[in-house]
Amino acid sequence: MPERNYAVFRLLPLASLLLAACSVRTLSSLAKSQTSPEWRSHQQSVSTITRYQTHGAFAYFSQEKKVYARFNWQQTSADRYRLILTNPLGSTEMDLNVQPGVVQLVNNQGKRYISDDPEVMIQKLAGMSIPLKDLCQWMLGLPGNATDFTFDASGYLHQVNYSYNGQLWTVTYQGYHDDTVP
């Protein structure tokens, strides 16, 4: 199948410059646990969210490829979302639209692909194994299926480590907005 080797993303040298600008918090500020009232309160408030939009940076490193992209995630219901990945210059590399029973992906050349499983589709077309169901949870500050995670001093997730299809995924939260109630 010729699509398998198709590269959905183009890595630009600018990615290393942008990644170097990330801030890192020290682990000494981590103190809370899964039983803390702050964590339980956070968990309850964000578990009810079904509609949101967020954006950020995405880095994927494997032995075969290194990808950096900006993402825009639009969750419109519990089982409907859209994920747009753009390169550092702002050009759309992938537009993934997920609805119950049908997934549509449009690549950077405008070619459309239809499937019923977004993770399998991305694996076949981009050669990347991405845990999208967990990603939905991580965007809300929840650990998803991960069992290895730490909290910050406020009782929110600080870092999530998750093994998926033989790859280690690490999510580090740089901070939270306490002035917004879900």
**pLDDT band at residue 20 using 50, 70 and 90 as cut-offs:** very low
| Over residues 62-81, mean pLDDT | 89
**Amino acid (one-letter) located at 83:** L
| Over residues 60-67, mean pLDDT | 82
User: In terms of pLDDT, which residue wins out, 68 or 98?
Assistant: 98
Tell me if 53 sits within 8 A of 72, measured CB to CB.
yes
Tell me if 69 sits within 8 A of 85, measured CB to CB.
yes
| pLDDT of 116 | 94
Domain boundaries, the chain: 2-172
- Three-state DSSP state, 170: strand
106 exposure class (CB count in 10 Å sphere: 0-12, 13-18, 19+): middle
User: In terms of pLDDT, which residue wins out, 67 or 77?
Assistant: 77
Q: What is the CATH number of domain 2-172?
A: 2.50.20.10
| pLDDT of 21 | 37
| Over residues 134-140, mean pLDDT | 90
| pLDDT tens digits, one per residue of 36-56 | 888 888 889 888 898 999 888
